[in-house]
Amino acid sequence: MNVKYKSNNNIVYSCKYHVVWCPKYRRKVLTNGVDVRLKELLLEYAANLSVDILEMEIMPDHVHILMEVAPQFGIHKAVKSLKGYTSKVLRSEYPFLKTRMPTLWTNSYFVSTVGGAPLEVIKQYIENQKTSQRQKDKLG
């Protein structure tokens, strides 16, 4: 397993998330150039937030993003910021988005952590810590 960790002043981390969100009423409005502009805006604004977008796909009625977010910034703040910024810009650039829906995005989203070791491996590692420490104490 080749995990690359990031670090800042006092934290070393690898926090990757799969995030999905939809336009209000699951309307298929992310087409005809809106999708391309949305990708540009997400990449641009994510860089300002120090959020790394590792993969992204815009479907007509939902957005999939694989992103890495610093733990002190938090996934909720990252998603809220990205949705808020893109809604404001897209609704000003594409007036039809204002007439069809009261807001561009739903309030909800899906998020799941991604990467690292499988859950069972981590559980086993934690369970074995005490045994491992006892063995070190005996040797030490």
User: What is the DSSP annotation of 50-117?
Assistant: T-EEEEEEEETTEEEEEEE--TTT-HHHHHHHHHHHHHHHHHHH-THHHHH-SSSB-S--EEEEE-SS
Decide if 125 is catalytic: yes
Catalytic hit among 13, 25, 109, 125: 125
| Catalytic center residues | 125
